[in-house]
Chain A
Amino acid sequence: MIPGKYRSVSGRAANNVNCGLHLVIQTSSLPEKSKVRFKQVEFKLNKETPSFPGRLLQHDLERNYSSRQGDHINLASSSMPSFPILQRSSEEKILYSDRLTLERQKLTVCPIIDGEEHLRLLNFQHNFITRIQNISNLQRLIFLDLYDNQIEEISGLSTLRSLRVLLLGKNRIKKISNLENLKSLDVLDLHGNQITRIENVSHLCDLRVLNLARNLLSHVDNLNGLDSLTELNLRHNQITFVRDVDNLPSLQRLFLSFNNISTFESVCCLADSSSLSDITFDGNPIAQESWYKHTILQNMMQLRQLDMKRVTEEERRMASVVAKKEEEKKRESHKQSLLKEKKRLTINNVARKWDLQQHRTPNIATNQDTKVSDSPSQDPSQLHGSAVVSAFPEETGSLDSGLTSALQGLSVTDTHLVEVDGDTLSLYGSGALESLDRNWSVQTAGMVTTVSFTFIEFDEIVQVLPKLKMKFPNSLHLKFKETNLVMLQQFNALAQLRRVDQLTIDPQGNPVVNFTLWKYYVLFRLSHFSMQKINGTEVTQNDMIMAERLFGILAHVASSELPQYRLISILGDARKKQFRYLLETKGKKPGLVNEENNDSKRLVGENTNRATLNYTTRDFYNERLEEIKEKKKFCKMYMEDLVKEATDINMKNEALQKLWPQMFIELVRDAVIEIRNKNSYMKLCLQQITDQK
């Protein structure tokens, strides 16, 4: 880098200064164009005190320059009394005709340089110059170094048409301006200033190096027109975004270290630059990101060095792989969020329907077309092997294909939602209950331990409980929300399940939770499950004792006080029903866990004394009552007949009772009258006998 080298050179050209008026220029070699050599030159000034202005001048001089003895100051009065005039001896002029070094001369102003019109290199480093002046006549100047001064404004350069290198680093320049005529400028160094914007450089079509490090730039643009620019140094600024770099056809090196770039989008124009091969971003927030390296590499395939380190093939490959994965992940999460949104909409829809149902007459049958499908949820941590369900679980047995099959066309109905997420099966809306009929893969079904019902009438859930028992044998935790649980009795229906460890009844939509005794009743009726938790709180021994105390009598009454035939009929009823269900008719009333049932052999522990407490849904109950009506009518008629018969007989009996005494007397009287005359009676009898023959 030219400016840097140059800096160091000037650093070395330190202190062979005698008496402040001796300028010493050291030899150095400058690469490339202006190879100007410097030699030691002594420059003497006469000490003769001139006229008053001169004296003043000398005073100035003596004040400003640490003057020592024996100097010859040759001061000529000039029209501009404040500027010193520099003259060199003719030997020096001949020796170093094209270069002049005035560094560390404690100059506060540019002196008038007389008779040096062919000067090509001028060095004012390390002074206190505030304005560029008095160099307009040096029209052959190619190299001008004003590094480390106090210049506040670029000016006075309009005649230097041949200028190729302009070094204005470490000054106080606030604005890039007045460079219009410097069309040959090759290197422009403005580092260490207070420049806030890049401007007025579009005409510098020969400019190859532009150094704007350590300024106050907050963004980069206005770079068009710099067709030759190969190196752009923007280190140590406050840059947040970069634009127009793709308009620089020759730019090879771009240094953006120690700025404020945090996203790739803010420098995205770099991706379009085909010439860039070297770039630095260290010291920016973006370099701390995990995706930094591969994003840069992926987007800037032409890069050869990043942050001063060569980019290897390996890195490039890694970058593309990672980028692809990122892309995949983004697509995945996008899909996820779409699915989530669909789910949310569905649930909202189901909720709305549910509300309507609750506030008007329940009319479950809707005529919405149900494209039967569900939206499965993808577990993002699919790599960890959690269960993934796609639309057709029987087709995809493996987990890996879950991703791809999920991309098949799924349609989410807006009437219900079924979702399997690892160990939880969630059902929203009554239509979701039909999904229990599907062929669930054994793996998926086996993993489900929690089943959650929302926006479904409990009475409907009761009817599918046998199916649930069969298809999801490991479901241990049941959750109910907005399921219209209103009676304690309804819990009886849960007794038919194999086992329930945890029960969560959400107060929302389940008025039963408002009862004081509901938990105890659940514990009582489902005591054979030995439940661990109800609504998140552990079940304690005290709870169980209390439940027994409260409802134990009910159990006792329900078992021992029921007449035998009732017991048999209730239990037998259930048995019949279960059998019928297994024969694949509609599984109607929820039966009981019958002790004779194979299933419940395991549950020998169940208190059979509460087995008679079961739950029939309101509809079925009414249905049954309807069925009985016929029988009742018949019975009534039958009984009436019997009663009629009985009363008839009774009446006849009573009539007989009343009449009998009279009849008896008559019988006796008739008999006595008959027998009164023995002879005639004998004759009568004989007559009767012969008549009979």
Chain B
Amino acid sequence: MLSPERLALPDYEYLAQRHVLTYMEDAVCQLLENKEDISQYGIARFFTEYFNSVCQGTHILFREFSFIQATPHNRASFLRAFWRCFRTVGKNGDLLTMREYHCLLQLLCPDFPLELTQKAARIVLMDDAMDCLMSFSDFLFAFQIQFYYSEFLESVAAIYQDLLAGKNPNTVIVPTSSSGQHRQRPTLGEASMLEGVEASLFYQCLENLCDRHKYSCPPPALVKEVLSNVQRLTFYGFLVALSKHHGINQALGALPDKGDLMHDPAMDEELERL
């Protein structure tokens, strides 16, 4: 318990890093809201159940978005819950629209914002035809990246725009030909234009980003892996690569591998017991 790393951090920082306070506050808040009911069966039991559910990842069910978004663990739990609840939809093979996926998300979190779902859909659809149908696995992995790393992605987008415009925070570089004009992902048909940004440069910026910012970002090693395979890449290309990367998925730990997405033996067992 008294391991040196733990004692190395000052109090507040330690608490903040582990988000202990968030959970404590939330627990007390829940207690206050439901005091009549909870007082019937004891406060100690309440706290037990609460933290048990936090560990199991069921604490985020039907909670408001602000809570779900509050900690990485919450986010991961939510992703996992979404997968477990609607895996059958994917198994059934139905292709759904972005709005319908959003509906399913809202079943678990009533005030889930539409923008997040839209951004996730954009990753899948590469910013084309937002009304297209998406498969469950495509959407889920893209959504994972978007939701879990949302702040990180925002910064990445900013960096990308900067690079496109030719401004490099790190080094001086000759701007690419006319890529400054392109705001979004340029069309594939224009072979004469240089697409996106240079991968290695991009990675340098990202590395700095990861160092600078405390909130969760993908492990830099894996990011490097993603970027090392290509010479140049676009923003959405990068995101798609992220979403499809097994390593990152595993590092997150919320969802199983793509191949196992439709299988959930634990759940099946439970269901059969009923």
A570 CB, nearest partner CB in chain B, Å? 7
Q: Mark B66-81, 1 if CB is under 8 A from A, else 0.
A: 0000000000000001
Q: With A and B bound together, what is the CA distance between A511 and B99 in angstroms?
A: 10
B:83-104 near A, CB below 8 Å: 84-89, 92, 94-97, 99-100, 103-104
> Once the chains are docked, how many angstroms separate the CA of A517 from the CA of B270?
25
12 contacts between A and B (CB under 8 A): A487-B103, A516-B96, A516-B100, A517-B100, A556-B274, A569-B34, A572-B34, A621-B110, A625-B111, A636-B25, A639-B25, A643-B15
CB closest residue in chain A, given B81: A557
Q: Would A565 and B271 be within 8 Å (CB), given that A489-B110, A613-B107 are in contact?
A: no
Task: Type the 1/0 row for B1-39, where 1 means its CB is closer than 8 Å to any CB of A.
Answer: 000000000011001000001001110111011101110
A565 touches B34 (CB 8 A): yes
| Min distance, Cβ A565 to any Cβ of chain B, angstroms | 5
CB distance from B108 to the nearest CB of A (A): 8
Instruction: Give A650's nearest chain B residue, CB to CB.
Output: B11
CB-nearest residue of chain B to A575: B37
Bound Cα distance A552, B92 (Å)? 13
Contact indicator B107/A488 (Cβ below 8 Å): yes
- Known contacts A553-B267, A564-B49; A635 and B64 CB within 8 A of each other: no
Given contacts A572-B37, A628-B29, contact A552 B88 (CB under 8 A): yes
Binds A, one of B54-62, B179-187, B197-205: B54-62
Q: Is A568 an interface residue (CB 8 A)?
A: yes
Is B49 a contact of A517 with CB atoms below 8 Å? Answer: no
Whether the pair B61, A565 counts as a contact (CB closer than 8 A) is: no
Q: Are B25 and A635 in contact, CB atoms less than 8 angstroms apart?
A: yes
Q: Does A563 contact B (CB under 8 A)?
A: yes
A654, chain B: closest CB distance, angstroms: 8
Asked whether, in the complex, the Cβ of B84 is within 8 Å of the Cβ of A553, the reply is yes
Residues 565-581 (chain A) with a chain B CB within 8 angstroms: 565-566, 568-570, 572
**Is B208 close to A, CB under 8 A?**
no
Which residue in chain A gives the minimum CB-CB distance to B88?
Answer: A550
**Are B34 and A489 in contact, CB atoms less than 8 angstroms apart?**
no
- A residues within 8 A CB of B86? 553-554
Contact call B271/A552, Cβ cutoff below 8 A: yes
Roughly how many angstroms separate A516 CA and B46 CA in the complex, as a whole number? 40
Closest 10 CB pairs of A and B: A647-B11, A569-B34, A563-B49, A635-B28, A563-B53, A635-B29, A561-B58, A515-B100, A554-B85, A568-B37
Residues of chain A within 8 A (CB-CB) of B85 are: 553-554, 557
A562 with B58: in contact, given A515-B96, A517-B94, A647-B12 (CB under 8 Å)? yes
Contact across chains for A557 and B61 when beta carbons are under 8 A apart: yes
Say yes or no: is B135 at the interface (Cβ < 8 Å to chain A): no
With an 8 A cutoff between CB atoms, is A693 at the interface? no
Are B111 and A621 touching (Cβ within 8 A)?
A: yes
Question: In the bound complex, how far is the Cα of B92 from the Cα of A511, in angstroms?
Answer: 23
Report whether B271 and A634 are in contact in the complex, using a CB–CB cutoff of 8 Å.
no
* Chain A residues within 8 Å of B274, by CB: 556
Q: Are B104 and A570 in contact, with the CB atoms below 8 A?
A: no
Q: If the complex has contacts A564-B49, A565-B34, are A639 and B28 also in contact, measured as CB distance less than 8 A? A: yes
Contacts of A622 in B (CB 8 A): 111
Interface SS of A by simple majority: helix
Residue of A nearest to B51 (CB): A563
**Which residues of chain A are within 8 angstroms of B110 by Cβ–Cβ distance?**
489, 616, 621
Alpha-carbon gap, A632 to B63, bound state (A): 14
Q: Is the CB of B33 within 8 A of A488?
A: no
Cβ < 8 Å to A, chain B residues 107-136: 107, 110-111
| Proximity bits, A623-652, B CB within 8 Å = 1, else 0 | 001001001101110110011001100110
Asked if B150 CB lies within 8 Å of chain A CBs, one says no
Instruction: Give the docked Cα–Cα distance between A98 and B86 (Å).
Output: 120
Instruction: Tell me which residues across on chain B come within 8 A of A514, comparing CB atoms.
Output: 97, 99
In angstroms, how far is the closest chain B Cβ from the Cβ of A613? Answer: 7
Distance in Å: Cβ of A581 to nearest Cβ of chain B: 18
Q: Is the CB of A612 within 8 A of B62?
A: yes
Q: Which residues on A sit within 8 Å (CB–CB) of B15?
A: 643
| Distance from A578 Cβ to chain B, minimum over Cβ atoms (Å) | 15
Q: Is the CB of B30 within 8 A of A565?
A: yes
| Chain B neighbourhood of A511, CB < 8 A | 99
Query: Interface readout for A108-119 with B: 1 if CB under 8 Å, 0 if not?
Result: 000000000000
Residues of B with C-beta under 8 A to A635: 25-26, 28-29, 32
Residue ID in chain A nearest B64 by CB atoms: A625
Q: Give bound CA distance, A506 to B97, whole Å.
A: 20
- The reply on A325 being an interface residue by CB < 8 A is no
* Alpha-carbon separation in the docked complex, A551 to B29 (Å): 31
> Does chain B have a CB within 8 A of A549?
yes
Complex formed: what's the CA distance from A612 to B61 in Å?
11
Chain A 484-528, CB within 8 Å of chain B: the 1/0 string?
A: 000111000000000000000000000110111100000000000
Looking at the assembled complex, report how far the CB atom of B23 sits from the nearest CB atom of chain A, in whole angstroms: 10
Q: How far is the CB of B112 from chain A (nearest CB, A)?
A: 11
- Given the complex of chains A and B, what is the CA–CA distance between A570 and B106 in angstroms? 17
Q: Could you tell me the distance in whole angstroms from the C-beta of A572 to the nearest C-beta in chain B?
A: 5
* Across-interface contacts of A564 in B (CB, < 8 A): 41, 49
Hey, which chain B residues are within 8 Å of A223, CB to CB?
A: none
A108–B201 alpha-carbon span in the complex (Å): 127
Interface residue? B50 (CB, 8 A): yes
Tell me whether A634 and B32 are in contact in the complex, defined as CB-CB below 8 angstroms, given that A550-B89, A557-B61 are known contacts: yes
Q: Distance (Å) between the CB of A181 and the closest chain B CB?
A: 95
Cβ–Cβ contact B271 & A639, under 8 A: no
Residue numbers in B under 8 Å from A487 (CB-CB): 103, 106
Given contacts A487-B103, A563-B59, whether A553 and B271 have CB atoms under 8 Å apart is yes
Within 8 A of B (CB), among A545-603: 546, 549-554, 556-558, 560-566, 568-570, 572
Knowing that A557-B84, A563-B49 touch, tell me 13 more A-B residue pairs with CB under 8 angstroms: A511-B99, A554-B86, A556-B270, A557-B85, A562-B62, A563-B59, A564-B49, A566-B61, A568-B38, A635-B26, A635-B32, A639-B24, A643-B12
Query: Which residues 249-274 in B have Cβ within 8 Å of A in the complex?
Result: 267, 270-271, 274
- The answer to the question of B228 belonging to the interface, with a C-beta cut-off of 8 Å to chain A, is no
Contact A631 B32, beta carbon cutoff 8 Å: yes
Question: Is the pair B53, A632 in contact by a Cβ cutoff of 8 Å?
Answer: no
* A563 in contact with B50 (CB, 8 Å): yes
Q: Are A561 and B32 in contact (CB under 8 A)?
A: no
B155 located at the interface, meaning its Cβ lies under 8 Å from any Cβ of chain A in the complex = no
A278 to chain B, nearest CB (A): 80
CA distance A625 to B63 in the complex (A): 11
With most chain B CB atoms within 10 A of its CB, the pick from A552, A554, A618 is A554
CB-CB under 8 A for A568 and B11, given A489-B106, A562-B58, A639-B24 = no
Closest-by-CB residue of B relative to A557 is B85
Nearest CB on A from B136, distance (A): 11
- Residues on B with C-beta less than 8 A from A570 are 62
- The A336-372 residues at the B interface (CB cut-off 8 A) are none
| Chain A residue, CB-CB nearest to B7 | A654
- Cβ of B216 within 8 Å of any chain A Cβ, yes or no, is no
Q: Give the residues in chain A near B89, CB-CB below 8 Å.
A: 517, 550
Q: Which residues of B contact A556 (CB under 8 A)?
A: 267, 270-271, 274
Across the two chains, which residue of chain B brings its CB closest to A636? B25
What distance in Å separates the Cβ of A538 from its nearest Cβ neighbour in chain B? 21
Which partner residue on chain A sits nearest B104 by CB separation? Answer: A488
B177: CB under 8 A from chain A? no
User: A650 CA to B12 CA in the complex, in Å?
Assistant: 12
In the bound complex, residues from chain A placing their C-beta under 8 Å from that of B50 are 563, 565
B103 with A489: CB separation less than 8 A: yes
**Cα(A569)–Cα(B11), bound, Å:** 34
How far is B113's CA from A618's CA once the two chains are assembled, in angstroms?
13
Q: Is B52 an interface residue (CB 8 A)?
A: yes
A550 to B33, CA, bound (A): 33
Contact of B33 among A551, A558, A631, A643 (CB under 8 A): A631
On whether the beta carbons of A562 and B88 are closer than 8 Å, the reply is no
Chain A residues, CB < 8 A from B88: 549-553
Pick from A552, A568, A572, A643: contact of B21, CB below 8 A. A643
Nearest Cβ distance between residue A630 and chain B, in whole angstroms? 10
Cα–Cα, bound, A650→B96 (Å):
54
Task: Select from chain A the residue with minimum beta-carbon distance to B96.
Answer: A516
